[in-house]
Structure formats: C-alpha cells, structure tokens
Amino acid sequence: MIKCTFFNRGFFEKFTITGHSLFAEKGKDIICAAVSTVAQHTARFLEKKGAKVKIKDGFLDVENIPSDEFSQIFVKELLETLRDLEDQYRKFIKVEVKNDEN
C-alpha cells in the first residue's frame, strides 16, 4: 500500500509518500505511476523554491515547504489528486493529514 502523509501547522510544511501499491507488476502499475508522476512533479517544483527533497525507491520526503501561496497551492493540488486516487483505489493508497496548530 502507498501511504501519503501531509503535515500541516497552519500551512503544509512537509509530506511523505512511502510504499508500493502492488496493484500490478512493476512497469504496469497504474497507481504507482500516477502517484509517482504527480508527487515528483510537485517535489521538483518545491525543491526549486527551497524545500528539501529525498527520493529513494518507494520513498519520497519533502520538508521545509515554503509557506508562500503558490507553494501551498501546489501541495493542496497534490493532496486533492491523491485523495481522488484514494477514492478510486482504497485498497492500494491511503492519504492522511496530520494537523499541528502549535
């Protein structure tokens, strides 16, 4: 299962995506392909804005996301897209937001 966790403390400061969907064999897994594409696109943009990005097989971590409006819009769109995928493929992807207002 792919697990997507977003950390929000009044703005999105970090997100982590881990795992594999195991929907199909490597190279034919449409869920992994969709998640990887949209998440890496967002990570690449945020890295150019100063975020710290770590990518390994089955792991993406983006920290220090800028709080500017445009960066936050990118993260919110990623979250919305991943939730759409979760609605369609609940056995293969889980999305959560952890709120910390402190």
Cβ-contact 102, 12 below 8 angstroms: no
Domains, the chain: 2-99 (3.30.70.1490)
Q: Is the dihedral of CA 69, 37, 100, 66 positive or negative?
A: negative
pLDDT, averaged in runs of 10, over the chain (102 residues): 97 97 91 96 97 95 98 98 98 96 60
* 57 burial level (CB within 10 Å; 0-12, 13-18, 19+): exposed
> What is the rounded CA–CA span in Å between residue 31 and residue 88?
10
pTM of the model: 0.93
